[in-house]
Every structure is written in structure tokens, then in C-alpha cells.
């Protein structure tokens, strides 16, 4: 085995992949959120649609997005492998589970991850797939015709069940991040008596603010726009 593959399949190497892909996704979420927040601009979706058009056509962004898909898959696959191996390493399970010495999120990263993955599939099908392949009605702004993704979003967010799924998924992402954010730094070896408390604090803030901001949008559409 070459040192590279040996490294990447070692326990610490696998953790490193989880950590780096995780951190990438953390950054991506912020970018995604900035885009989404344009849904809240009161311009009948103009800003959002132009932004969406840019994101789907700019070659640089497109290339990056393939990286993104790869990282999501890598993070998911690696996570499942870890989960499998870790379950095998335990063998017989304890009769009394230990709930006091660790957080709910840290113990359930795999389950949280699986829920997020299912949501992602649904989410991509709903928006990304239709945007790429489907029948999105066009809309023209200042002579430029773009796909009216806003209309699709508005339609989706008018269905109560979709809003519920979306909001619950955001809560799940919040928990996943609550452990994942600071965990990524710990894996990278960035544990420092002076700085780690800041990282942990930042992680908590991030894990609350970002999913909350995401979740507000469907709620806003459902309750404000629809009525």
C-alpha cells in the first residue's frame, strides 16, 4: 500500500477526510444561505432568480459545484464506513446506554447525517433537478430571460408538509453542526487552551444561526406570502 492510501484509510486519515469535507460544507452553507436570503427581498424574486441564473451558468461556480457534490458524497460515504466499522468495534452492545458522558448530537452523528442526506435528495430533486432538467417557467428582467426558480420555491413553500420537512431538517442540521463544527477543528489537531473555547462558542452560534436563518425562509413564505 502506498503511504497515501495507507494514510487515507488509517483511523486518523479517515477522520481527516471527514473533517476537511465537513469544513468545506460548513463554508458552503454560508454561501448557500446568502443566496437564499435573497428570496426575502421584496422584488417578486428578481434578485434571487438572477442570482440563481448566475450560479447555474458561471463556469467557475459550476466546476466548484461538482467538487461540492463530490465532497458531499465523500463525507456521506466515509461517514457510513466509519459508522459501520465503529459498530463492529463495539461488538455486543451495552444493556444500559450511557447518556451522561456525551452529547446527544455527538452520539448520533450518523443518524443525523442520514436524515440530512435523505433531505438533500429530496431538496435536490425539488429544486436542483427541476432547475437543470425540468420545466421551469421563464421570466424576463431588463431583456434577460432567466428561469423563474422563485416561482418554484414559492410553490414548494406553500405546501405545509414541505415546510415541516424543511424546518425539521434544519433542526437536524443544527444538531449535526453542533458537534461537527468543533469536532472538525479537534480532528485537525487544533485544540488550544486559549482558542478552543472561542471555536466552540463560534460553533454553537453558527449551528443555531445558520439553520435558523434557513428555516425562517419557508416559514416566511408559508405564513406571510401565502396569506
Partner 1 sequence: MKITLKVWRQKNIQSKGQFETYQVEANEHMSFLEMMDVLNESLIAEKKDPVSFEHDCREGICGTCNMVINGQPHGPMKGTTVCQLHMRSFKDGDTIVVEPWRAKAFPLVKDLVVDRSAFDRIIQAGGYVSVNTGQAQDANAIPIEKDTASDAFDAATCIGCGACVAACPNASAMLFTSAKVSHLAQLPQGKVESKKRVQAMVNQMDDEGFGMCSNVGACEAECPKEISIENIALMNREYFGSVVGSETSV
Residues that bind partner 1 (CB under 8 A): 3, 7, 10-16, 18, 82, 85-86, 88-103, 106-107, 109, 179, 182-183, 186-191, 193
Could you tell me the three cell numbers for 185?
Answer: 477543528
Nearer to partner 1, 206 or 221 (CB): 206
SS3 at position 144: strand
Q: How far is the CB of 174 from partner 1 (least distance, A)?
A: 18
Q: How far is the CB of 110 from partner 1 (least distance, A)?
A: 9
Q: Give the separation between CA 108 and CA 79, rounded to whole angstroms.
A: 12
Nearer to partner 1, 3 or 66 (CB): 3
Nearer to partner 1, 110 or 216 (CB): 110
Could you tell me the three cell numbers for 161?
Answer: 408538509
Nearer to partner 1, 45 or 113 (CB): 113
User: 454560508: which residue's cell?
Assistant: 30
Q: How far is the CB of 80 from partner 1 (least distance, A)?
A: 13
Count of helix runs (H) and strand runs (E) in the chain: 10, 2
Q: How far is the CB of 87 from partner 1 (least distance, A)?
A: 8
CB distance 19 to 183 below 8 Å: yes
Range list of β-strands (E), the chain: 138-141, 144-147
Q: How many CB atoms lie within 10 A of CB 92?
A: 5
Nearer to partner 1, 158 or 186 (CB): 186
Q: How far is the CB of 84 from partner 1 (least distance, A)?
A: 10
Q: Which of 164, 148, 167, 159 is nearest to 226 (CA)?
A: 159
Amino acid at each position: 500500500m502506498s503511504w497515501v492510501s495507507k494514510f487515507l484509510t488509517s483511523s486518523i486519515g479517515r477522520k481527516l477526510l471527514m473533517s476537511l469535507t465537513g469544513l468545506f460544507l460548513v463554508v458552503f452553507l454560508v454561501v448557500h444561505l446568502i443566496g437564499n436570503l435573497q428570496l426575502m427581498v421584496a422584488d417578486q424574486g428578481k434578485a434571487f432568480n438572477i442570482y440563481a441564473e448566475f450560479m447555474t451558468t458561471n463556469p467557475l461556480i459550476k466546476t466548484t459545484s461538482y467538487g461540492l457534490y463530490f465532497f458531499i458524497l465523500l463525507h456521506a460515504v466515509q461517514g457510513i464506513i466509519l459508522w459501520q466499522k465503529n459498530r463492529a468495534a463495539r461488538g455486543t452492545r451495552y444493556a444500559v446506554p450511557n447518556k451522561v458522558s456525551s452529547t446527544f448530537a455527538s452520539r448520533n452523528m450518523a443518524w443525523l447525517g442520514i436524515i440530512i442526506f435523505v433531505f438533500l435528495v429530496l431538496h435536490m430533486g425539488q429544486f436542483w433537478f427541476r432547475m437543470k432538467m425540468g420545466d421551469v417557467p421563464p421570466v424576463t428582467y431588463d431583456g434577460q430571460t432567466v428561469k423563474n426558480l422563485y416561482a418554484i420555491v414559492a410553490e414548494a413553500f406553500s405546501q405545509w408538509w414541505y415546510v415541516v420537512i424543511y424546518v425539521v431538517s434544519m433542526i437536524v442540521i443544527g444538531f449535526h453542526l453542533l458537534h461537527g463544527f468543533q469536532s472538525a477543528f479537534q480532528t485537525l489537531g487544533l485544540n488550544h487552551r486559549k482558542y478552543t473555547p472561542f471555536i466552540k462558542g463560534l460553533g454553537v452560534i453558527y449551528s443555531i444561526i445558520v439553520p435558523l436563518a434557513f428555516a425562517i425562509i419557508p416559514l416566511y413564505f408559508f405564513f406571510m406570502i401565502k396569506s
